[in-house]
Each structure stands twice: as C-alpha cells, then as structure tokens.
Amino acid sequence: MRNPCVAHRGWSSRAPENTMAAIRMAIQDPDVEWIEIDVHLSKDHVPVVIHDPTLRRTTNGKGDVKNLTAAELTSLDAGNWFSQKYQGEPVPTLDQVLKETVGHCKLNIELKTNGIRYPLIEQKVLECIQSYKAEKEVVITCFHEGTLYRMKKLSGVIRTGLIIDGWRNTLPKELKELGSDFLSIAYTKLNKERVALLREAGIQIMAWTINEKRAIRKVAELDPEILICTNYPDRWHEVRQRTVSHR
C-alpha cells in the first residue's frame, strides 16, 4: 500500500483538531505527507485555522469567528474541550501553521466559505501562502466552485480542488473548466470506474474521512495513488504495515 496519508485537521484523534498540537504531531511523523486544515477569516481579515463558523464546539468562546479579531481568537482556549492536557492551546493563524509546515509537509487548505461569507478570503489566504513562497506546497480546496475560480484568477500557479460529498460523471469536465486537478471526495462515493475516470483526466484524488482500518484498506485497493484523509494516521500505518507483511 503506497497511498499517502493526510492527517485530517492535524492528528485529530490524539490532539485537539486544527491546533498546533495536532499539526506538530502530524509533522513529527515522517510518513505523514499531508495535513488538512480549515480556514476562516477573523473580523480584521486574518486567516485563522478552525473548522466551524461558530466558536462554541471547539473553544471557550461564543458567537461567530467572523465577529472577533485575530488577537481575540488566538487568545481563546481551543484545547480544553478535547482534554485537560491541552488546556490553553490557542486557535492558530494560517501564518503560524505555514511557519511550521513549509518544507516538512504539504497542506490541504479548505476555505470555509459559501462564496458570500468572507469575500476577501481568497486574497488573504494567497497573500499568506506567498509570504512563505509555499505555492507549490499547498492545495486550496472548497465546496464552492466560485471560490476556486477566484483563487485561480488570483494565482495561476496555486493548485485548487473541489470538495464533494456525491458523484456526477461530469466532474472531470467541471474540474478542467475550473483549472483544478484535485478532488476531495467522501470515500463512500468512490469505486473502480469512478477512480479510473478521474485518473484518466489527470485528477489527484483525496478520499475523506476514513477512520476504520477496513475502509482504509478497501479504498487503498482501488488505486495506490489515492490520498487517505484520516483522523487516525496510526491506523493508516497499521494497514500499510500489514499490507507489506502479507506480500
């Protein structure tokens, strides 16, 4: 099994998701090639790394991410909900994440916008990436096609990819029209025929979010190049080692 591992929101089964603790844990594993993170914009237009548009689930804050400044967001506790061990772990900025990942790990940066929320998100995220000369080390993904189109207009260099929880046979054509060569897709939507169609079109596939070892093995058997996005990189390791030992 060659399938590269993508640590979903960092090593999110062992440390609080989308925090530097989870991201550092993933970086420290030399076999984890990718980390997936989620980005919103603060009130003062700073890209911050958090999954939800609201603060309640993963921090001690209340309200919407967009209503707080970066200074206010980074002063919140984003770790105690997960474990007392991580009490005081802050909400990181994209800048902080890039500072540690560049040269060590590729980033899948999901923009958490519907095209209306955060009208400056493409520009601000791109500026941050460019400040680290990291255009070749990231892929920008989003559920919203217009966001990917705008990102591609801002930078013809940066890779983009559509996120989808479904399937339609027109996907390769749609991705080509967007200038995208990456598809982030719910793993249950993949089969041999669909994978072959995407691979023929030169599209890199990331399957999310695969946490059971049996499902990891099943997706890996479809194609050795599919990226396995998981909260449990240790389970990915186990499946890979077992596959090697059975050869």
Residue 237 DSSP SS3: helix
* Element holding 142 (H helix, E strand): strand 138-142
Catalytic residue among 45, 51, 144, 237: 51
Contact 167, 194 (CB under 8 A): yes
- 3-class DSSP state for residue 153? helix
> Residue 239's closest CA among 210, 223, 217, 208?
217
Plot region of 95 (φ>0 → left; ψ -120 to 50 → alpha; else → beta): alpha
Instruction: Supply angle C-alpha 133, 94, 54, rounded to 5.
Output: 155
Q: Which helix (H) or strand (E) holds 185?
A: strand 182-186
144 is catalytic: no
In whole angstroms, give the CA distance from residue 165 to residue 247.
34
Active site residues: 8, 51
